[in-house]
Structure 1
Amino acid sequence: MPEQANTSRFGKLNTFDLKVIGIILMVVDHFHEMFASFGAPAWIDWFGRPVATIFFFTSVIGFSHTHSKKTYMLRLYISMVIMTLLMNATQRIIGFDEVQLMNNIFRDLFVGTLFMASIDQFAAMKNGQAVKHCLLGILIFAIPFIFTLIMIPLLSIDVTGFANQMILLFASAFSPAIILAENGLMILLIPVMYIFRNIRWAQMLSIAVVALLYGLSGSTQWIMIFAIIPLLLYNGEKGRGMKYFFYIFYPAHIIILYLIAAGIRFL
């Protein structure tokens, strides 16, 4: 059974395939991150530019078709917290300062679900209690920005002391602030693609517009436009299940690459 109504007659790739493509490109991207100080060429990083867009797209699919949106959001939130604490602990234990482990796409995806949940509230207005759903929609949408206002003064505190370091660590671990997201305001692409979840060409146009803005600013993130190729080939099918694989693989491969890089440096 199709996951999305906007299937492509040229579609050859299912959701599983898209995630595998994203994972492969992600590993290449993180290889560059870990080994840039050893001379890994900058162009390797280009392969990672479409990754976030692919996972944003699959998160829209996942949120649209999950049996429980609350469970889906909770799973991402818990993963976000664990990932922050795990990256910090790994950095502290290994002490390989050439690489700063700030990776946490779970935060981006969780913030994206907040925006999508907000859109659901606005859509529910037509079923009654319009004021209630409108206010809830505004509040939910504002959460990442409210937490950003909370985090801004915390990010400026002196972190030379252990107590302050712990305050900042746990505040950032539990905070869905958009200022802490890997991809910043680019996350707003998620609710846009969610609004157009049944109109593939509009989703692709939104990606192209964001890519153009990055290109005009001189950022290599414009290479995200190549994500359109596999996304246009999406056939609306789920494919093989891998619900928990990414949750494990994502932190695991980062830590493994980090340990290898640190081991080479310390030899």
Structure 2
Amino acid sequence: MVYFKTSLCDFAGRLIYFFQIERIIMFRYNLPEKYQVLDGSVLKLIACITMLIDHAAVCLIYHMILLPNAPIHTGTDLYRLYIFYKVLRAVGRCAFPIFSFLLVEGFFYTRSRGKYACRLAVFGILSEVPFDLCIKTKPWDPSYNNVYFTLFLGICLLWAWESFRDRWYLQLPVCGLLVFLAEYFHTDYGWKGLLLIFILYLMRAWRVPQVVFGLVSMYWELPGVILGFIPILFYSGKRGRQFKYLYYAFYPAHLLLLYLLSVYLVNRI
């Protein structure tokens, strides 16, 4: 009986401690308002620049110089060039966490979730050939599909989660199907990308825990991905100037331009 009372007291103490820690994490770990200085348009700009760096590294360095059958042969130290390439790819890891974060914000701000999802799907289709040309050097490669499809499935996942909130027998199968589709169609980041989107959605009210759990879910992309979560900490909650279709079009446009630049360089050298 004494042991039982001791165990019960110990359990109660641990439970109280847990809720104290949870309260600290969930309700007090947001940056002070004076540090929340970045709006949505700035985050989009950061994401686009780092994405451009990432894809330029793949298209202009990896495919053209580093591969054994690359069209350009250089006398420079390939090891140093490879290190430079890896640094650029690490910088490029910033883009996806920011785009995922903005997707979650857009899910709550948009006036029509259906139109939002349709835009992502349409630009995914429009981007696939430029993506394959830039990343795979051929016009069609179904083994790896662009990030718009990941974001499309992500918005559908959040939509299904909320729509079937009171019907778990529909909620879980539909969400599971969307995760399966991400893997089946080999979308960029696959199920791990959907996991990050879902975590950012669940933790939306608490910025620091949102970033921490987001980092944990993308541990396999460390350390580069850390840089992508830092701007999220300073998000002000404001959307900023909206150049909606400009940002949508930037993705296929920059991929196509990088590919054309690589073709031009190969023909000149």
Q: Same fold (TM over 0.5)?
A: yes
1:75 corresponds to 2:107: no
List per-residue Cα deviations over 1:90-147 (Å, max 9, x = no partner): 57xxx956xx895611011111112211221343x2xxxxxxx323322331233444
1:113 corresponds to 2:143: no
What's the offset of the Cα at 1:198? 1.3
The within-5 A match list for 1:1-267 is 9=33, 10-36=35-61, 37-38=64-65, 41-42=84-85, 43-87=87-131, 96=137, 102=144, 104-123=146-165, 125=166, 133-147=167-181, 177=183, 179-187=185-193, 188-211=195-218, 213-214=219-220, 220-267=221-268
CA contact (8 A) 1:28 1:48 kept: yes
What's the offset of the Cα at 1:185? 2.6
Q: Which amino acid aligns with 2:190?
A: G
- Segments of structure 1 that go 5 or more residues without pairing to the other structure are 1-5, 126-132, 148-175, 215-219
Count of residues in Structure 1 that have an aligned counterpart in Structure 2: 215
CA RMSD of aligned residues (A): 2.6
What's the offset of the Cα at 1:34? 0.9
Deviates more, 1:197-206 or 1:10-19: 197-206
Distance 1:85 1:66 in 2: 28
Match of 2:76 in 1: none
Distance 2:109 2:184 in 1: 25
List per-residue Cα deviations over 1:229-258 (Å, max 9, x = no partner): 111110000110021112111100111011
Larger Rg: 2
Q: Which amino acid aligns with 2:178?
A: P
Distance 1:64 1:115 in 2: 14
List per-residue Cα deviations over 1:218-238 (Å, max 9, x = no partner): xx5432122221111100001
Distance 2:88 2:253 in 1: 21
**TM-score by structure 2 length?**
0.71
**TM-score by structure 1 length?**
0.72
Distance 1:224 1:139 in 2: 30
Distance 2:126 2:222 in 1: 27
Q: Which amino acid aligns with 1:138?
A: L
Distance 2:168 2:213 in 1: 25
DSSP 3-state at the match of 2:196: helix
What's the offset of the Cα at 1:78? 1.7
List per-residue Cα deviations over 1:151-172 (Å, max 9, x = no partner): xxxxxxxxxxxxxxxxxxxxxx
Q: Which amino acid aligns with 1:104?
A: N
Tell me: CA distance 1:74–1:60, structure 2 relative to 1, closer, same or farther (3 Å): same
